[in-house]
Amino acid sequence: GDTAPQMDEIELLEDQGLGNLMDLKLHFFWHSEPDITVECKLGSVALPKLKLGFTMYLGLQGESEEPPFFNAAMLYMGNGFMHARDVLNTKQEKEDPYIGMTFGDAWTGFSTSFVEDAVVGALNGVIVPKLVLPSRMLLHVGHGMVAHDLMMPKPHGCLQITVKGVN
């Protein structure tokens, strides 16, 4: 397509309680008319509209005297992808990741929501285990940092819940 993906302003966040030196919030979105054709045994159909948006967080951990001036960089997300129809035009549009597709006239009278469901499920099956907290993707690990401790941080406390009864 002709429309390039875009990024909003980078936001420097207050302490998120994750032990990072600095956390940056990056919101990407791509609302386009891509040149994508979906093919299967039954035939093919063009995908005339695609809406994709997600917020990534970049956490920098540990100060260093030498460039790049931090010891580790991690990417993470707050939650998995949802349907664009549920997120767009709400206050969560710049918070929650979403994906939406429109197949146009090719499947007139036929619901394509199952295709969106399959894409959202497949995308979340790959993204959520790797990038959604508490999981993180390490981009850089400097001296003195243990990668396992960054990817699977130890809990800072314990929450005990006692169920007293059920109605």
pLDDT per residue over 111-145, tens digit each? Answer: 667 778 888 899 999 999 989 888 888 877 776 66
Pairing of strands 82-83, 98-102: parallel
Beta bridge pairs of residue 77:
132
Whether the predicted model's global pTM rises above the 0.75 cut: no
From residue 166, give the alpha-carbon distance in Å to each of 34, 44, 161.
51, 51, 14
List pLDDT tens digits, range 82-107. 988 888 888 888 888 898 887 665 55
Cβ(93)–Cβ(87) below 8 Å? yes
Tokens for 146, please give them: 């243990």
